[in-house]
Structure 1
Amino acid sequence: MKNLTDPLKQKLVSKYTVSDSPQSTTTNTDINVLLNRVKSNKREEIKKKFYFSAIASTGLILFGLVIFS
């Protein structure tokens, strides 16, 4: 009679073991892409700050008009 637990046990154990295959995939990054991303992020931050300050100042002006009129 065949022992059926050995192949089953090997399948279960193989799910949780780490294989020793080297991961030698190297990726190249272009410095221009990174610099452009930094510049675009900086522009977006400046836009957000400008919009926030515009909304806040408009709110203060409206609040002042309501209170002092």
Structure 2
Amino acid sequence: MNVEYDPTRDVLCLWLATPGTTAASKTVVSPGVRADVDQEGTMIGLEVLGTSDVLQDNVQFEVELDLPERTTAGST
């Protein structure tokens, strides 16, 4: 995961995909927050526009992710 903040534009970017992956589209998650999705519809990044206004004093926010189930070695 890569996190970047541009204080000049007041934009926070959270990139979840491997470098070089391109977004097929953007979806508005909530006012000021857009999700980048790939061709399969998987979220690969988040962009928070006007970060200071959107997050205000909150230093965390929740995002629901659809992740594949993991199994541990040796489990049945």
Range into which the TM-score falls when normalised by the shorter chain? under 0.3
Greater RCO structure (CA 8 Å; 6+ sep): 2
Structure showing the higher strand proportion among its residues: 2
Structure showing the higher helix proportion among its residues: 1
* TM-score (norm: length of structure 1): 0.21
* TM-score (norm: length of structure 2): 0.20
